[in-house]
């Protein structure tokens, strides 16, 4: 997709605006002390506020550490890729003292990265957005139209495109998190073919469990190649369904993982906020902010 032509002067002006207005947000994010435990967040689409800074306000009210922010879709102009929206996110994060845990490009499910040049540009632009927002991970979704199961040609195309964009991600200190229906072995094959430390696996315990994979074994197999986790259970509230989060924690301990778990999905008949609060309380009991010893 051909990008809009912007004059050098306009680029300078935009950069100055974001730098000035977002200074408080960046300063707050950089001032956060390193955690020795886990951070619990939620996907903004789970909160019902996709690509909306109001998700940060809601996260604060619910006692979450942060939010995974979707960059938006083509219908609303991919708002989070725009400097003026990034400015608003930084200001809101600083005011609420809630972090932007990572970004996500959910629209890759409808506009496949394996075949659409538009998607290729979004991934490149998302690296710039991560850098502007002080974020280290962007989730690349490979479901629905972007599914790679039994699609060796699609996998080959994705590998080729990731090889091309990975150097940019490396320079920016950004990780491209690969989430799909593929097994740990299939993910490792892709990572080895790309050959970049900037491309890792975004691991969703419920998706992998649904595919019949041994998630506790997979976590250990992938090890440091996992950049971040989705906490999810298709069957019930956390601790009551199919995912044994205590065994997930043991696997994380074995690979030395400490970082974000973003909750995805809620369960009826509980309301959205009630479900989020229940699941957050349960996760805190297994994945504390500070781990002793």
Q: With bands split at pLDDT 50, 70 and 90, how would you rate the model's confidence at 266?
A: confident
Give me the sign of the Cα torsion angle 79, 67, 35, 123.
Answer: negative
State the pLDDT at residue 14. 44
State the pLDDT at residue 23. 55
Mean pLDDT, the chain, whole residue set: 91
Q: Which among 132, 23, 28 is positioned nearest to 85, based on CA atoms?
A: 132
Phi, psi of 14 (to 5 degrees): -60, -45
State the pLDDT at residue 15. 47
Average pLDDT over residues 31-35: 47
Q: 159 lies in a domain?
A: yes
Give me the sign of the Cα torsion angle 276, 280, 283, 289.
Answer: positive
Q: Report DSSP state, residue 44.
A: T
pTM of the entire structure? 0.88
Q: 3 lies in a domain?
A: no
Q: 2 lies in a domain?
A: no
Average pLDDT over residues 19-30: 49
State the pLDDT at residue 16. 47
Task: Give the DSSP letter string of 89-104.
Answer: HHHHHHHHT-EEEEEE
Q: 76 lies in a domain?
A: yes
Q: How many angstroms from the chain centroid is the CA of residue 246?
A: 22
Q: 86 lies in a domain?
A: yes
3-state secondary structure of 180: strand
Using CB atoms within 10 Å of the CB of residue 110, give its burial: 0 to 12 exposed, 13 to 18 middle, 19+ buried. middle
State the pLDDT at residue 22. 53
28 versus 98: the higher-pLDDT residue is 98
What's the structural domain count of the chain?
A: 1
Average pLDDT over residues 255-283: 93
CATH number of the domain to which 148 belongs: 3.20.20.150
Contact 88, 95 (CB under 8 A): no
Cα distance between residue 197 and residue 173, in whole Å: 10
Q: pLDDT tens across 139-184, in order? A: 999 999 999 999 999 999 999 999 999 999 999 999 999 999 999 9
Range of the domain at 253: 8-286
State the pLDDT at residue 152. 98
Q: pLDDT tens across 34-51, in order? A: 457 999 999 999 999 999
State the pLDDT at residue 192. 98
Q: 272 lies in a domain?
A: yes
Q: 167 lies in a domain?
A: yes
State the pLDDT at residue 215. 98
Cα distance between residue 203 and residue 179, in whole Å: 6
Residue 19 has pLDDT above 90, yes or no: no
Q: What percent of the chain has pLDDT over 90?
A: 85
Q: With bands split at pLDDT 50, 70 and 90, how would you rate the model's confidence at 25?
A: low
Cα distance between residue 41 and residue 65, in whole Å: 5
Q: What percent of the chain has pLDDT over 70?
A: 88
Q: 205 lies in a domain?
A: yes
């Amino acid at each position: 997709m051909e990008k809009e032509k912007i004059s050098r002067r306009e680029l300078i002006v935009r950069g100055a605006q974001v730098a000035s207005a977002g200074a408080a947000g960046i300063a707050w994010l950089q001032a956060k002390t390193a955690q020795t435990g886990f951070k619990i967040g939620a996907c903004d689409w789970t909160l019902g506020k996709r690509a909306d800074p109001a998700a940060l306000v809601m996260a604060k009210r619910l006692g979450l550490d942060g939010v995974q922010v979707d960059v938006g879709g083509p219908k609303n102009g991919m708002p989070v890729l725009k400097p003026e929206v990034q400015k608003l996110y930084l200001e809101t994060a600083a005011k609420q003292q809630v972090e932007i845990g990572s970004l996500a490009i959910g629209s890759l499910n409808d506009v496949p990265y394996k075949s659409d040049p538009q998607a290729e540009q979004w991934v490149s632009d998302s690296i710039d957005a991560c850098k502007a927002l002080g974020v280290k991970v962007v989730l690349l979704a490979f479901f629905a139209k972007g599914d790679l199961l039994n699609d060796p040609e699609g996998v080959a195309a994705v590998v080729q495109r990731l090889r091309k964009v990975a150097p940019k991600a490396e320079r920016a200190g950004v990780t491209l998190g690969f989430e799909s229906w593929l097994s740990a072995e299939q993910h490792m094959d892709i990572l080895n073919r790309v050959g970049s430390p900037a491309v890792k696996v975004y691991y969703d315990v419920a998706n992998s469990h649904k595919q019949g994979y041994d998630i506790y074994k997979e976590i250990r197999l992938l090890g440091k190649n996992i950049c971040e986790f989705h906490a999810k259970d298709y069957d019930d509230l956390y601790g009551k369904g199919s995912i044994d989060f205590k065994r997930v924690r043991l696997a994380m301990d074995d690979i030395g993982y400490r970082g974000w778990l973003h909750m995805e999905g809620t369960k009826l008949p509980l309301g959205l906020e009630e479900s989020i609060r229940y699941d957050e309380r349960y996760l805190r009991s297994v994945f504390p902010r500070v781990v002793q010893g």
